[in-house]
Amino acid sequence: MANSKRTLFLKRRMRVRNKLRRVNAGRLRLSVHRSNKNISAQLIDDVNGVTLASASTHEKALGVVGKNNVEAAAKVGTAIAERALKAGVETAYFDRGGFLFHGKVKAVADAAREGGLKI
């Protein structure tokens, strides 16, 4: 039976996440989710099960409501880096989920690095 796109995506996401958990035990996770209309990022403490900071194109404060392009993704990356530093977090590992690391996902990571977050 052929695998659907969704099944392949979920397999890829779990493969990436399990590898990252083995390598980066104890560090915070910067998780990115990309939909057709929006992009969001969360800084997650997996040990305590708490989200410390988040940013999304849903927020009016970023000025990119409803946009899903590279510029909007870069603003989300900058915002998450700023909020992480405000929360006292300097390092995290980047969890791209099942998404390929190019385009909007890469823009979030690059902007977070430029914002001062070490990933």
In a domain, 75, yes or no: yes
Kindly report, residue by residue over 79-109, the tens digit of the pLDDT: 999 999 999 999 999 999 999 999 999 999 9
In a domain, 19, yes or no: yes
In a domain, 76, yes or no: yes
In a domain, 25, yes or no: yes
In a domain, 89, yes or no: yes
In a domain, 94, yes or no: yes
d(CA 90, CA 116) in angstroms, rounded, equals 7
| Long-range CB contacts for residues 53-59, cutoff 8 Å, separation at least 24 | 53/80, 53/83, 53/84, 53/86, 53/87, 53/89, 54/80, 54/83, 55/79, 55/80, 55/83
Q: What is the pLDDT of residue 25?
A: 80
Positions of the chain with pLDDT under 50 = none
In a domain, 40, yes or no: yes
**CATH code, domain with 78:** 3.30.420.100
Residue 63 Cα distances to 16, 24, 58, 72, angstroms: 31, 33, 9, 9
Q: What is the pLDDT of residue 51?
A: 96
Q: Which range of residues forms the domain containing residue 28? A: 5-114
Q: What is the pLDDT of residue 21?
A: 87
In a domain, 119, yes or no: no
How many domains does the chain fold into?
Answer: 1
